Structure 1
Amino acid sequence: MTRLSVNINKIATLRNSRGGNNPDLIQVAKDCERFGAQGITVHPRPDERHIRYDDVYKLKEIVTTEFNIEGNCREQKFVDLVLANKPHQVTLVPDAEGQLTSNHGWDTVENQAYLKDIIGVFKNAGIRVSIFVDPVPRMVEAAATTGTDRIELYTEGYATHYAQGRELAVAPYIAAAQVAQEVGLGINAGHDLDLSNLQYFAESIPGLLEVSIGHALISDALYYGLENTIQMYLKQLAK
């Protein structure tokens, strides 16, 4: 079954809005694992508007499943943070400075040389690497030349068009996943996946290893409770 990694950025946003330590980010991470999540994802940004850099060090000490750190590898502070903590996986995202949320994948053709170099840095430290990629076969093919272990399919397009026709919405992702399998890349996915569209996506994508879900899952937890919500998402991933 596809693994569920819970992105806890929104918990940090809520904590930071009032200062102090409520909600307790570290306890929430422990509870997510206790409730069945198979990974914890964080995406620290330079302004530390949600996950703080010191949060990453604390999480490294307590996460017992898979620890995934996402971020912009063009920021040296991010690179240093990842190398200091050696998570199970680093997911490289081509964010611009001050960007509200991730909104596109790497151009793996134009950035091929750069990606080879930076991926080599992380892999030499024993860290599995995944890179954010749009569902474009050419970009997936080029990703395979960079040395990355996995790609993370950026799924906003799927989520946006799901209501207009799920078959058409998922078709580019199926094609991209098939190419990924042909060139030997593992497949992750994330962005705007939720309880309404997750099951169909997971059933449709061959070789889907992991999804990272934050905003929708934390929002659903306001109504259903965190434990119940995680179980609901896991049920969508069960095959």
Structure 2
Amino acid sequence: MTRLSVNINKVATIRNARGGNNPNLIKVAQDCERFGAQGITVHPRPDERHIRYQDVLELKEIVTTEFNIEGNPDERFIELVKRVRPEQVTLVPDAPDAITSNAGWDTIRHADHLRRLVDTFKADGIRVSIFVDADERMVEGAKAVGTDRIELYTEPYATHFAENQEDAIAPFVRAAERAQAVGLGLNAGHDLSLENLRYFAERIPGLLEVSIGHALISDALYFGLENTIQMYLRELMIA
């Protein structure tokens, strides 16, 4: 079954809006695991507008499933990941002022940079995933720099899902098939939801993990966190 990693950035956003420690990010992470999540994802940004660097250090002490730290690999991020040594680091090329991630790496243009990063993290025993668009050339480029996995950027799929499901998923199927052919592990994330997750998981070969934050935390406002996590897990189980 495809594993579900819950991105808890939005919980930190709510906490930071009022200061203090409500909601308690550590308790939410523990609850996500208790309710069935198989991983916790965080995406610290330089301005710490949601996940703070101190949060990452504290989460490392309590996360018992897979801990995935994603972000733009500037020097501070690299130092944090090497200190924490999570199970997985996901390299994302987002600008410091980006509201959210909006594109994958050009793994060909940035091959030398990515290769150095991959080597740095793998030397510490950290599995590396590179965030890429659903483009077979970018998949091949990721393989060439030595990464363990890629994460497919799924916002274009989610955006076009309601218009034409087959057209929306087609490039992702091709990219996934290429990843399998070259021996890359496959993750996916961004705007996956209860509406589009099952269709995606049913049709993407070799899908190991999805990272879901915004939609899942939003759904939890209506359905409750435990019930919501179980709903997402059922979508993956059925797939």
| TM-score of Structure 1 vs Structure 2, range by shorter chain | over 0.9
For 1:143-162, what aligned pairs fall within 5 Å after superposition? 143-162=142-161
Cα deviation code 1:35-71 (max 9, x no counterpart):
0000000000000000000000100000000000000
Deviation at 1:223, TM superposition (A): 0.2
Q: Distance in 2 between matches of 1:138 and 1:28?
A: 38
Q: Mark the runs of 5 or more structure 2 residues left unpaired by the alignment.
A: none
Deviation at 1:188, TM superposition (A): 0.1
Deviation at 1:178, TM superposition (A): 0.3
Superposed CA RMSD in Å reads: 0.5
For 1:82-101, what aligned pairs fall within 5 Å after superposition? 82-101=81-100
Residue of structure 2 equivalent to 1:122: 121
Residue identity matched to 1:155? T
Residue of structure 2 equivalent to 1:42: 42
Q: Distance in 2 between matches of 1:222 and 1:237?
A: 21
- TM superposition outliers: structure 1 runs of 4+ over 3 Å: none
| TM-score, normalised relative to structure 2 | 0.99
For 1:205-216, what aligned pairs fall within 5 Å after superposition? 205-216=204-215
Q: Distance in 1 between matches of 2:223 and 2:98?
A: 30
Residue of structure 2 equivalent to 1:198: 197
Quick one: percent identity of the two aligned structures?
71
Residue of structure 1 equivalent to 2:16: 16
For 1:1-239, what aligned pairs fall within 5 Å after superposition? 1-73=1-73, 75-238=74-237, 239=239
Q: Distance in 1 between matches of 2:158 and 2:94?
A: 20
Residue identity matched to 1:95? D
Cα deviation code 1:3-61 (max 9, x no counterpart):
00000000000000000000000000000000000000000000000000000010000
Residue identity matched to 1:82? V
Residue identity matched to 2:107? T
Q: Distance in 1 between matches of 2:80 and 2:123?
A: 15
Q: Distance in 1 between matches of 2:179 and 2:212?
A: 21
Deviation at 1:98, TM superposition (A): 1.2
| TM-score, normalised relative to structure 1 | 0.99
How many aligned residue pairs are there? Answer: 238
Q: Distance in 1 between matches of 2:211 and 2:96?
A: 22
Residue identity matched to 2:17? S
Residue identity matched to 1:12? A
